[in-house]
Structures are given as structure tokens and as C-alpha cells.
Structure 1
Amino acid sequence: MNRPILALGLRLAAMASLSVMLMLVKVAGTRGVSLPETLFWRQFFPGLMLLGYLAARGQLSVLKTQRLWVHARRAAFGGSGMFLTLGAVILLPLAESTVLGFTAPMFAVILAAVVLKEPVGWVRWSAVILGLAGILVIAGPNQSHLPLFGIAVGVGAAFMVAVIAIQLRDLGRTEQPLTVVFWFSAFTSPVLALFLLRTGVHHDAADWLILFGIGLSGLIGQIFLTAALRYGSVSSVIVMDYSAFAWATLWGWLVFDHLPPASTWIGAPIVIAAGLIIAWREHLLHRQRAGGALTA
């Protein structure tokens, strides 16, 4: 069903929760926790908490699914995307890594044209070019504070977000948010656990508290994110994603004593404007298709 106001609220709450998770991931990185291990606890804690919650309520039947293969495919893409997303957070300042994530709608347009063979007009292509120009402003040749590898990881993460958003929308048609989140953890945790054989597990109480916070905030954000796509389309809720820049800037200032340079403040609005143009155009196209279907 479509409940646009609820979908927008859920997406906004998801961005707030995920911003906390990314901030804690960066803190964990500064304390020497390896990225594969952070990923493991990010997945293991939510899966364990969900399983315990549903078992206590006698609702384990919620986890039944007829689309196990689709969940496995989503886990493969989601795990890769999560590795890139968290990697970009460690390699780059929070605000800059967040802005790179805003290129996801542009990749969605490219995927629609290349993979789905959908007609893409000049408005959306212009928005894609505008967004890429914004990224060039942020990552200009004189911006030595942004490593090229980190920028590549951030752009790769945005591409995976575009792919995953399509998968979540498809799963949301038949699966409850808790089901999607649980199977994502169930498929990825055993694979990530293999990395612990190499890194080991040696942490103090503060590290464990941070890792648990990563899992909890990630779980809450993922549930809200999946639920938002259950009640609204990607093009209608994606506007809320841009609130993440405000959160990333706030956490970067409060926790890491970092404020974005002038180039980021100039480039970020360009990227955000490109995303908003795409979202606006997608909304118009959705209304046109809905009106055509109703007339037919």
C-alpha cells in the first residue's frame, strides 16, 4: 500500500539512525577495530536481537519466506554495498562520504537506461551531469584532504545503494521489514565471521559498547529504511536522504572536530539539487503512469 507521509517519516528516522551508526563506525576505526570485524558485529547483533525478540513473542513464523533465493541475492549485493559504505566512512570525513552517497539517484537513472532499457529524457540526464559536476567540485585536484581511493569507494557505495533500493522495493511487496532485515543478517554473518579467524577478537569495554551501538543503530535504521520502501516508492522518499548531510556535519564537528571546507559547501548543494531534480521527475512520471493505468 502507498502511505506517502508515513514513508517520508520512516525514511527520515532511518537517516538519523544510520548517521549514528556511521559515526560509531568511524570511531571504531580510530580505535583500531578492523572493518571486516565491524561489519560482522554490525550484522550479527541485529540478527541475534531480532531472533530473540521474535522468539520471546512467539512470532518466529514472521521469518518464513518463499523467496529465500531473492533474500540471498539481496544479501550478496547488500553486503558488498555495506563494505563500500563503511569503508568510505573510514577513509573520508563524514560529511564528504555522505555527499558521495547522494549520487545514488544518478546511478539509478543510468541503471534504468542501460539495464532496464527505460527511456530517460533530457531532464534526468541533465541532473546526472549536474550531480557529477558537484562531485568534481568537492573532489577537485586541489583537495588533498580527500584521497582518490576513498572517493572511488564512496562512489562505488552509491552505485550499490541504487541497486539495493530496487531490490528492497521488490522484496517489500511480499515480505515484512523484520523478515528482510533478519535474512540479510543471517546470510552475511557466517561469511563475515570467517574474517575473525584472521583478526581475532580483543577489545575493551568501550570497544564492545561501540560495536553494540553500531549493531543497534544499524538495526533500527535498516528496519525504518525497509519499511519506508514498503509504504512509498524510491522516488518519493529519497528526498529525506539529504538530511543525512546535516547529521554527518553535526557528528563530524562534535565528535571529530571537523567542518567541511568551502568546496564541500559549494559542491554538496549541487549534488543535492541534482538528486531533487531526479526525484521530482520520477514523481511526475509515476503520477503519469498511474493516471494512464487508471484511464485504461
Structure 2
Amino acid sequence: METPAIAAPAHIVASAARRRAILCVLGASACFAVAAAFVKAVAGAFPTFEIVAFRSGLATLATLPLLWRIGGLRALRTRRPWSHVWRMIWGFTGMATSFYGYATLPLATNTALGFAMPLVLTVLSVPLLGERVGWRRYTAVLVGLVGVLVVVRPWGGAADALPLVPAAVVLFGVVAWALAMISIRKMGEAGESNVVIVLWFSIGSTVMAAVLTVPVWVTPDPLQLAALCAVGVISALAQMLMTEGYRAGETTLVAPFEYGAIIYTTTLGLVIWGEVPDGWSLLGIAIIIGSGLYIWRREAVLGVRRS
């Protein structure tokens, strides 16, 4: 007779799932950082839209098996086409401006400015989603915006402040990402599945990038082509790891580990390009991260109270 398998205790299974989730999110953050480094490496030779086209195109290829698994092209049917259009426009804008930022700003600085997105999302959720935001979160937003100013330092001299145009473009992209998140939240509340939202964005951003790339196309050599493909492949891997991390663990557990990207991009920027954040940049980054973590914590607490 076969010996029946003995199930592991529930707390051991839960602990293993949490460790898996954390490792997936840390791995995703590392992959995003490596992809950003590839973007920075090729940015001087290619227009931003061409880099976005490779990233989006390869990500779309990675999602095609998922599309066929859920029913093929019929799965893309939606009753909210204009919601998808706006999500694609804002998401594409956020991606393109982020890539532009990696080309023109230090890796760690661009990553830190991107983490200001939860601050903008908190503000926009009031008029666009009808949410109520208390004084604690408003205070955290104001503190976080102070951190953004410390990083950018528009009052500094040319040698001290960040280039204002690239910084402004990246911050505009942060607003665009927040609007994309609001679009996603609205579609989710209306019953649109996450798979359909992801697929429409992946396909739509590929088409938009391809169209915008045609007039500025630069033919890559084999090594450059490998680097451009690496952006797409590594980004797709990062997205899969991030999705698995949030699937396997509670959002309240795994979300803070996304900030590992700051460590990774700081290290890559230092080792490859000799980018050393000064004291003001480090202070601003710490303020942005601290504010973001506080807002995340408040959302978690309020979510528990609502449930």
C-alpha cells in the first residue's frame, strides 16, 4: 500500500507563499531596473518611440498565448472601448516619458520620481473617483511633493539642479500613469477583466509606438538589436514576476518591496555610468519613499476597516 501524502501545516504553506510573493516582487523590481539600464544604454542611438515599440511589441508576443488560452480574438470584445483608448493613451504616455527620463536623468533619480505616482493618484482619486482623503494622507502627499522638489531643486544653479525639461517631462508622465491607474480602476469596477485590460493596452501601445516610429526609424546593428530585444524580454519577465507576486501574496505584504528598484537602479547607475546621488537627491528620494509607504499603509488600514 502507498503511504498517503501528509499535507504541510497551513501556516507553513502560507509562510512559503509569502516568501515566494516577496521574492517575485524583488525579482520583478530587479528586472525592471535591468531593463531601464538597457534603455539608457541604447537611448543615445535610437529615438524613444523606437525603444518603446520594441518593448511593447515583445510584450505583446509574450501575451499572445494568454489570449488564445482565454478564447482568441473573441476575448477582446469589450463594452467600454473608449475607456481602453484612454487607458492606452495615458499608459503609453507614462511609458514613453519614463523611457525618455532614463535616457536623460540618472537611473535612480528617474526611478524615484516615478514613485511619486501614488501621491498624484491620491490627489486625483478625489475628483475622478469620488474617494475621500483624510488630512493624514493629504499631509503625506504634501511631504512627498516636497521630496520631489528636493530631488529636482528648481531653485539651484545649473550645476546643482536637475535639467528642468527632462524632469518636467518625467513628472508629466507620472501624472499620466496616475490617470492610467484611475482608468484601470474604473474599468475594473465596471466588470472588465484584468486580462482584457492588459491585452488591449499591450496591443494598443504596440500599434501606437509602431506608427510613431516609422518617420524616425533607425536600423539597429546585431548588438543593438539584441539590446532592444532585451528591453522587451526583460520587461515582460518583470511583469510576469510582479503579477505572480501580487497573486501569491497580499498587496499589503508585497507592495513595499517594489521600492527595491531604488537600490538596484542606484547600484547600476553607479557601476555602469558612475552616477553618484548627492546628499540632496538622497534626501529627496527618502522623502518620496517615506510618503509613498505611509500612503500605502493608510490605504491598507482603511481597507481593513471597510471590509
- Work out which of the residue numbers 148, 168, 179 in structure 2 matches 1:163: 179
Q: Distance between the aligned counterparts of 1:224 and 1:71, measured in 2?
A: 24
Residue 39 of structure 1, CA deviation: 0.9
1:177-230 deviation per Cα after TM superposition (whole angstroms, max 9, x unaligned): 5x5443322112222212332123411111101100001111122334455566
Say how many residue pairs are matched: 283
Q: Distance between the aligned counterparts of 2:253 and 2:171, measured in 1?
A: 22
Task: Please tell me whether Structure 1 or Structure 2 has the larger radius of gyration of its CA atoms.
Answer: 2
- Work out which of the residue numbers 74, 85, 88 in structure 1 matches 2:87: 74
- The amino acid of 2:48's aligned partner reads L
Gaps of 5+ in 1: 291-296
Q: Percent identity?
A: 28
Matched, 1:122 2:135: yes
Q: Distance between the aligned counterparts of 2:201 and 2:116, measured in 1?
A: 24
1:6-25 deviation per Cα after TM superposition (whole angstroms, max 9, x unaligned): 66554433322211111111
- The amino acid of 2:232's aligned partner reads G
Matched, 1:194 2:211: yes
Residues 119-158 of structure 1: pairs in structure 2 closer than 5 A: 119-140=132-153, 141-142=155-156, 144=160, 146-158=162-174
Verify the 8 A CA contact 2:151 2:285 in the aligned structure 1: yes
Gaps of 5+ in 2: 1-13
TM-score where L is the length of structure 1: 0.84
Q: Distance between the aligned counterparts of 1:252 and 1:221, measured in 2?
A: 19
**3-state SS of paired residue (2:206):** helix
Residue matched to 1:18 = 32
- The amino acid of 1:120's aligned partner reads V
- The amino acid of 1:16's aligned partner reads A
Q: Distance between the aligned counterparts of 1:62 and 1:231, measured in 2?
A: 26
Verify the 8 A CA contact 1:7 1:232 in the aligned structure 2: yes
Compared with structure 1, are the counterparts of its residues 100 and 225 closer, same or farther at alpha carbon in structure 2 (3 Å cutoff)? Answer: same
Residue matched to 1:268 = 285
- Work out which of the residue numbers 67, 71, 76 in structure 2 matches 1:65: 76
Residue 111 of structure 1, CA deviation: 1.1
Residue matched to 2:59 = 46
Compared with structure 1, are the counterparts of its residues 167 and 13 closer, same or farther at alpha carbon in structure 2 (3 Å cutoff)? Answer: farther
RMSD of equivalent CA atoms: 2.8
Compared with structure 1, are the counterparts of its residues 201 and 150 closer, same or farther at alpha carbon in structure 2 (3 Å cutoff)? Answer: closer
**3-state SS of paired residue (1:40):** helix
More deviation, 128-137/164-173: 164-173
1:44-100 deviation per Cα after TM superposition (whole angstroms, max 9, x unaligned): 12212433x459xx7362661343624443222211111111111112111111111
Residue 160 of structure 1, CA deviation: 2.4
- The amino acid of 2:265's aligned partner reads A
- The amino acid of 1:61's aligned partner reads G
Compared with structure 1, are the counterparts of its residues 132 and 54 closer, same or farther at alpha carbon in structure 2 (3 Å cutoff)? Answer: closer
**3-state SS of paired residue (2:133):** coil
Residue matched to 1:96 = 109
Q: Distance between the aligned counterparts of 2:249 and 2:168, measured in 1?
A: 30
Q: Distance between the aligned counterparts of 1:167 and 1:125, measured in 2?
A: 22
Compared with structure 1, are the counterparts of its residues 71 and 225 closer, same or farther at alpha carbon in structure 2 (3 Å cutoff)? Answer: farther
Verify the 8 A CA contact 2:31 2:234 in the aligned structure 1: yes
**3-state SS of paired residue (1:120):** coil
- The amino acid of 2:47's aligned partner reads S
Residue matched to 2:271 = 254
Compared with structure 1, are the counterparts of its residues 114 and 176 closer, same or farther at alpha carbon in structure 2 (3 Å cutoff)? Answer: closer
Residue matched to 1:175 = 193
